[in-house]
Each structure stands twice: as C-alpha cells, then as structure tokens.
Amino acid sequence: MQREEKKTIACVEQSLAHCVVAGARARAAGIRSPRNVVLPTGAGTDRGAAAAASPAPARDGDDAAALRLPRIGRLHAAAKRTIDVAIAIAAVVLLAWLLGMVAVLIRLTSRGPVLIRQTRVGRGGRLFTMLKFRTMRADAEREAAPVWPRRNDPRCTPLGRLLRRFGVDELPQLFNVLRGQMSLVGPRPERPCFVAVFAAHLPSYTLRHRVKPGITGWAQVNGFTGDTSIRGRLEHDLRYIGKPSILFDLVILALTPFAVLLNKHA
C-alpha cells in the first residue's frame, strides 16, 4: 500500500478516537442519519486538539463532479432485487446448518454475543445496521477507537480467524439483503468514521453510495479486501457502478468463491 494511504489509515486510528469529529465530517460527506441514530459529535472531548490532529483533505485531482455515472433503470433495479431475494433465500435455507453450527461454536469458545451489529453507510448515505458473526473478543473496541482491519489481528479469537479466512463471518448479511439494506453484489459498506476520512482525501469516494452496498463486489474479487489500497478499491467500485449489468453481477458471484480461497489479506 502507498505511504500516503498508510498515513491516512494511521490518522483515522489516532485522531478519530471513538469517532470524534466524525459527525461533522460525515454530514459534510452527505451521510444521512435515521431519526433514532445520532452520529458522535465529540461531546466532552477537546475538539480543537482532535480537529488539529485530523487529516486535511488531499488535493489529488480526484474530482467527483467530473465523473459521470449512468442512472440505474427501474427494470435493472427490479431484476437485481429479484435475484438478490431469490439467491439470499436459497442460501439461508441451504446454509442453515452452517449458520447454526457457527453460532454454537462461537458461544462455546468465547464470551460475548454470537452476532455483532455495526453501523455502516448504505445507499444514499443512509446508515443501517450490518450483521456479522463475531470474530473478535467481546471487548475488542471497548477502550479504543475503531481500528482498520488487518491480517492476523491479535483481537481475533482462534475461531474468528478461521471464519474470516473463508468469509463465513459475512454470511449473516444475507438477512441484510432480504431486508433490502444490501445487495449480493456492490461496494462493501464502511463505518461512518472511515467514510468521513476517506471522503476527505478522495472526493469521489461518496459516489460509492449511488448503489446498495454488497456482500461481495468487483473490488473484492480483484483482491482489494482487508488492509489493501483504498484508492484501488474505489477505482474498482466505480468501474462496477459505471457498468450496471445483471451478467456482470453473476460473473462477480461466480468469481467470489475463488477470490475467498485465494485471499491473502483475510
């Protein structure tokens, strides 16, 4: 990963303690919060110090206004939603045994809930609660700011590492698909505090929110998962958004199992 991207991630972890100042940046990035969700505004924290430590927007020529993305037609949207629901229902039925077994193993091998619920940014900048099987210690972020995922994260449980390696921890997101919050294929959703910082450095980052986030995507099947280039991930996401096609979605779904098996960044 490029030096400037590593510096960006370091700034996220250091300056956005518990997502301080993420509220202001999220609103600037167009993230809209539901009535029952309040983004942190840094109450009780030295805002001056936090703002001074936060990274300044980079002038890298990445002009979001210069990009022209096609509008998604109603027929395409309806077909995509039909496929999402059909495949998600089939997957839940066929994988019910696996979901149940993983839930029992998580409960038996570590303390804490089976599922974790994280706030992520979805289509149109709306926040939603994404489901995942818990792969870390229950107190992994209790006393620290959100940390960008890394390979061999010491906070992971032994079972959690195995679940991550094969992408099993993402399976509960099939229920997010059924609820209409996610699609099977699309840009991976990120947490508001990370979106705020990435959007400050890459103005076109918010264009990812033109479509529903996905369980898998063009960036993921090309190896951009975990601790990899943010810019490279964004470029692949925008290429996907720029070519709305059911066939393209099916190709990505077909490539996903191979991408998971070959993933070096899980």
How many domains in the chain?
A: 1
Structure letter (DSSP) for residue 54: S
- 120 belongs to a structural domain: yes
**Domain presence at residue 49:** no
Give the span between the Cα atoms of 165 and 188, in whole angstroms. 17
Determine, yes or no, domain membership for 36: yes
Q: Look at residue 42 in the predicted model and tell me its pLDDT.
A: 32
Residue 33: predicted pLDDT: 41
Q: How far is CA 47 from CA 20, 27, 142, 147, 266, in A?
A: 8, 16, 21, 20, 35
For residues 15 and 264, give the distance between their C-alpha atoms in angstroms, rounded to a whole number: 29
Q: Is the pLDDT of residue 113 over 50?
A: yes
* Over residues 31-41, mean pLDDT: 38
Beta bridge partners of 32: 126
Q: Which helix (H) or strand (E) holds 119?
A: strand 115-121
> What pLDDT score does 149 carry?
67
Predicted confidence band of residue 243 (pLDDT cuts 50, 70, 90): confident
Q: Whole-model pTM?
A: 0.75
pLDDT band at 123 (very low <50, low <70, confident <90, very high): very high
**How do residues 209-230 score in pLDDT, each as one tens digit?**
999 999 999 999 999 987 788 9
Q: CA nearest 205: which of 22, 24, 28?
A: 28
Q: Is residue 47 part of a domain?
A: no
Residue 238 confidence (pLDDT) above 70: yes
More confident position, 123 or 151: 123
Cα 176 from Cα 7, distance rounded (Å): 33
Lowest mean pLDDT among 3-17, 152-166, 240-254: 3-17
User: Could you give the CA distance from residue 18 to residue 23 in angstroms, rounded to a whole number?
Assistant: 11
Assigned domain for 154 exists: yes
State residue 73's pLDDT score: 81
183 and 80 Cβ atoms separated by less than 8 Å: yes
Residue 137 has pLDDT above 60, yes or no: yes
C-alpha span between 80 and 248 (Å, rounded)? 11
- Does 19 score more than 50 pLDDT? no
Residue recorded with tokens 């997010």:
176
According to the model, what pLDDT value does residue 15 have? 39
Tell me whether residue 48 is in a domain: no
Give mean pLDDT, residues 32-59.
35
214 vs 70, higher pLDDT: 214
pLDDT at 265: 63
Lowest mean pLDDT among 82-96, 137-151, 156-170: 137-151
Give the 3-state secondary structure of residue 95: coil
Structural domain includes residue 256 = yes
Check residue 266 and give its pLDDT: 62
Q: Indicate the residue type of 215.
A: I
Mean pLDDT lowest among 40-44, 157-161, 214-218: 40-44
Domain that holds residue 81: 3-42+75-262
Least confident of 28-32, 216-220, 253-257: 28-32
pLDDT above 90: percentage of residues in the chain: 52
Q: Is residue 130 part of a domain?
A: yes
